[in-house]
Amino acid sequence: MKCSMISGEVFARHDLQSHAECGERLAIATSAVPRGVRVLPPEKSRISDLMLVHVPQHVRLLQELSRGMHYIDSSTYVNSESFDVALYAAGSAMAAAERARDGEHCFALVRPPGHHAEPDRAMGFCLFNNIAVAAAVLFERDEVDRVAIVDWDLHHGNGTQKIFYNDDRVLFCSIHEAGIFPRSGWVDEIGEGKGRGYTLNAPLRPGGTIHDYSLVFEEVFLPALERFSPDLVLISAGQDPLSDDLRGNMKLEPEDFGVLTRLMMAVTDQPVALVLEGGYGPSHGLAVGHIFRALGGTLYEPVHDRARPSSHHLVRTLKKIQIF
């Protein structure tokens, strides 16, 4: 199956060199992409696309603030280029989703990231929710009926969860370190209204390895995905659970992201689309390389024989509360 990536120099223009989420991290992320992966140019979203998931006031505020350098909160900034760059990030996520619909695995290596951005709020390095925009545009065009979004970033994807919390067209699965920013994503957050039962959160205790991740994927996420039978699988791909990423306390190694990618590929006969979220450690590029190798057909075997008791307890709890 074909495989491509979307990235470009435009994403370096949203930059603050002293910040963890700076232009340099994308250079690291793309440093080990295997030869033969087709590189496609970024595509730009319309402002109206953003407004499918964000309130107009939020979009207008960021457009206004991006006339200069501003901190939106203690960790989220904009400069004079940020609004334009964010349009390219959302548009490239949309393009990756379209490529997956057309039969090609595609990874949108973009920034700023998006999964923390809520309908009315930028936070956690994120301005607009790129992956949510991609899903919403496909719904608006009547190209899909059901979309699964799996988020393996170190942090809970609070923005994506909030956007689709009442929506039974989206199955949102997030595995993340428990108790850290944004201090959400607990097992009892399962959706509301029509969306009740369509949110699955797996907060792992610090120190999680691929054994813990594989256990959750194989015992909870993959069966849920099979029941949901999505038309498209989107992945919020944050590689900050790496053991050398100082923003967290997880213990994944670069090759483990090949394992997670193969697990996602095993649950659907359709291509998958990935959108970059976090990832700040020195081995981030190696992890991205393993993702592409998995997409290209390299086999990675899941293991969970050394999963911790706390992870087994989490799995038992999640199995009890699944609703749909």
Domain ranges for the chain? 3-321
**Three-state secondary structure call for residue 10:** helix
How close are the terminal C-alpha atoms of the chain, in Å? 32
Say if residues 46 and 83 touch (Cβ distance below 8 Å): no
Structural contact between residues 225 and 171, judged by C-beta atoms closer than 8 angstroms: yes
Residues 6+ apart with CB under 8 A from 3: 37, 38, 104, 105, 106, 292, 295, 296
**235-279 pLDDT, tens digit each:** 999 999 999 999 999 999 999 999 999 999 999 989 999 999 999
Question: 3-321 belongs to which homologous superfamily?
Answer: Histone deacetylase domain (3.40.800.20)
pLDDT tens per residue across span 37-82: 999 999 999 999 999 999 999 999 999 999 998 999 989 989 999 9
| Half-sphere CA count of 243, side-chain side, radius 13 A | 10
Q: Is 313 a catalytic residue?
A: no
Closest C-alpha among 207, 280, 205, 276 to residue 246: 280
Q: What span, in angstroms and rounded, lies between the C-alpha atoms of 169 and 228?
A: 9
- Report pLDDT digits (tens) over 223-239: 999 999 999 999 999 99
In the set 116, 155, 176, 290, the catalytic residue is 116
d(CA 110, CA 247): 20
Q: Give the 3-state secondary structure of residue 144.
A: coil
The pTM for the full model equals 0.97
Q: What pLDDT, on the 0 to 100 scale, is given for residue 77?
A: 87
